[in-house]
Structures are given as structure tokens and as C-alpha cells.
Amino acid sequence: MNTCVVIPVYNSPYITEVIEDVLACGYEVIVVDDGSTKRVEKATLEFHLVIHEVNKGKGEAILSGAKKAKELGYDNFVTMDADKQHITSEISKLVDVYEDETIVIGKRNFDDENVPNSSKFGRKFSNFWVNLETFRNFGDTQSGFRIYPISILELNISNKRFDFEVEVLVLHCFRGGKTKDVDVECYYPPIEERISHFDKFNDNLRLSLVHAKLVMQRFLFLRGFLWS
């Protein structure tokens, strides 16, 4: 395989199952334990484990995984969540369309009855702003099921929690990076089985602030371009 899979995790009871499924698909796995209260253990599974002693946020965990992937000689990597939402057999759909220096986003099928209305609204809200900021047409800017080129490590990313996935995508576009959407299936468990560390107040506030910042950056860029 010419790509690896990075799995950021914070207190997920499903992490072992997710790792086993990815290994069964033949990919090398990098798990980043982002300060879980119960540490991820390797046991008999063969994967790379990076540990954050304290919780630093999903974005910081992805960047730590990117650094490890680079160290292992990869020039791109897949990210997927540790809550079983992303289906490992769908990784091949991302890999099949990947080209150098491209962010490939798995556009999730939201037709499942278990998909929360808040997730549907959040995706529409995020898509509107990212499309405005980049002048591109994205279908699922909140999806964490992606392929990233290692070169995202060169971006000046300041948001390291759930707002990371918006900022990294927009900054990649600002520098002329390629992007692709690909339709994927996903799994949303019933509400009583659902695991989420998204803070509705703080994380929505962070997302609003990052969009305000990115819109301003786009405006300043356009003004400089038109007045030059």
C-alpha cells in the first residue's frame, strides 16, 4: 500500500475494533491517543502508537499522525474516526481517486435515519462558508474521512481541535492545492450507542471564529489582488 491510516482517538470503546478492521484491509496504522483516560494498548495488534499525555484536540492529533507518517516514508495518509462511523472498506474509494498533493474528502451518505439533524445542519452551514471562502463546491466539509498529503505540515494552522478540518482545507485551497469529493457510506449508531466529544457551545464558537477569520483572509486577498 502507498498510504497509511491515521486514527486520532480520545476515550473510544471501539478503537480496537477499528484498528482490527483497518489492518484487515492491509493498511499500516498509526493511532494517536490524544490524552485518553484509559490508554490505548497495543496487545497483539501491529500498529504504531503515538501518545499525547494530555488532550490537545483532534487537529493536533492528526498533525502528530502526519509527522509519524512522514517519518515512515509516506507522502499521504488517510484519516478516520475511532467511533466506527467510517467504514474501512470505503478507504479504497479515497485511495482510488487520490493524486499528488490532493485532499480527498469522503462525502458521507446522510440518508440514514440515525443521522442527527444537528449533523445535517452543521454540514450545510460549514459547506456554505467553506465554499464562499474557497470559491469551490464541497459537499461535506465536516467529514473527517479524508486523504491528506504530508505537505499539510507546511501550512500555518492555528486551530487544532474540531475546527482544524475546516482551516486545513481552506488554507490548502488558498495555496492552490487540489481537492476532490468522493461519495462514501458511513455508519451512524442509534443515539444510545453514539460517542461524541463535540462541545456544542465551545466547538461551535471555535468554528464560527475560524470562518470569520478565513472570510477576512479571503477578502484581504481579493482586495490586494484587485488593487495591485
* Pair 134, 173: CB distance under 8 Å: yes
Rounded to whole angstroms, the Cα distance separating 161 from 59 reads 5
- The letter for the amino acid at 98 is Y
Q: Where are the domains of the chain?
A: 4-227
- The letter for the amino acid at 205 is L
From the centroid of its chain, how far is CA 222? 28
Q: The whole model's pTM is what?
A: 0.85
54-89 per-position pLDDT tens digit: 999 999 999 999 999 999 999 999 999 998 989 999
Q: Which fold has domain 4-227?
A: Spore Coat Polysaccharide Biosynthesis Protein SpsA; Chain A (3.90.550)
Rounded to whole angstroms, the Cα distance separating 36 from 18 reads 16
114-169 per-position pLDDT tens digit: 676 777 877 888 899 899 889 999 999 989 999 999 999 999 998 877 688 989 99
Interacting residues of 60 by C-beta distance below 8 A, sequence separation 6+: 34, 52, 160, 161, 164
